[in-house]
Amino acid sequence: MQVESSPAQVTQFSRAARQSGRSIGVVPTMGALHAGHLSLIECARRDCDTVMTTIFVNPTQFGPQEDFAKYPRTLDADLELCRAAGSDLVFTPKTESMYAADARTTVRVAGLTDVLEGASRPGHFDGVTTIVAKLLNVTEPDRAYFGRKDYQQQLVIRRMVRDLDFAVEVITCPTIREPDGLALSSRNRYLSAAERETALQISRTLRDAVESAKSGVNPPQVAAAMRNRLLAVPGLELDYCEVADGDSLSPADTAAENAVALIAARVGTTRLIDNEILTFR
């Protein structure tokens, strides 16, 4: 496995792979890797001849009050995990080589980024789309892999890829959970044992929403039940809890068939997000 911090070297690696007829997959991450990230690498490994993982804690997607400085950085362990999962190259760029001091270009997907995570974290998605556009340009993959855990993110990236004619297929992989349901997240390591127990209410509420939808409860009723339940959990501060159309992210109405339930909440100082696809009868 090659570890490379130079964008030009990574592009060269990708072009050499393509010239020898190999298909290329890329898995963008911010490191602090866990089984969720590894499932994306494994998915890419199955589909593609050459797999690149990128590890970059992207400053432009963090707000001024967010956890950029204290975001976990575990590069040595990450590289071992990438190697074991079958990555051929890991791209670990320096901030200076991704952002010129006089950079003036931002990629912005309008509309979809105004709601949910976008409403709570102004500018977050502009940082995400700009860095993902840059990483796709550097790595020139056939396929790029993202987790459904960040539902809105993969939707925004799909829209960017379509609108800007990136020649890449976006693949969304299922959310990997702990046996008790907690969605894996690099931020879970901040949770105390008691906070972790509180955080479990998020995935439990989502699981019950899946069942309610199946049993004929309509989307606004499911959303209201989820909200009422979470608002009553001590130690959990609800940011949003919505049942939204799976494509537009507008609130799902009573006629919706395919929708997604999305939750963001703070437990202690840790902000967690999770979601489940709902199928209504």
Task: State the virtual CA torsion across 183, 186, 191, 196 in degrees, nearest 10.
Answer: 10
Binding mask 61-80 for ligand AMP (x = CB under 6 A): --------------------
| Nearest residue to 200 (alpha-carbon basis) of 225, 228, 179, 224 | 179
Q: Does 30 bind ligand AMP (CB under 6 A)?
A: yes
Closest to ligand AMP by CB, 183 vs 233, is: 183
Are 115 and 165 in contact by the 8 Å Cβ rule? The answer is no
Q: Does 39 bind ligand AMP (CB under 6 A)?
A: yes
The CA R_g of the chain, rounded to the nearest whole Å, is 19
Segment interacting with ligand AMP, rule: CB under 6 A, options 18-26, 36-44, 85-93, 109-117: 36-44
CA 31 to chain centre: 12
Residue with tokens 């590894």: 38
Choose, from 32, 37, 201, 264, the residue flagged as catalytic: 37
Residue number of the CB atom closest to ligand AMP: 147
Q: Does 186 bind ligand AMP (CB under 6 A)?
A: yes
Q: Which of 45, 124, 143, 149 binds ligand AMP (CB under 6 A)?
A: 149
Mark whether 34 is an active-site residue: no
Distance CA 81, CA 75 (A): 10
DSSP secondary-structure letter at 32?
A: S
Binding site for ligand AMP (CB under 6 A): 29-30, 36-37, 39-40, 146-147, 149-150, 173, 175-176, 183-186
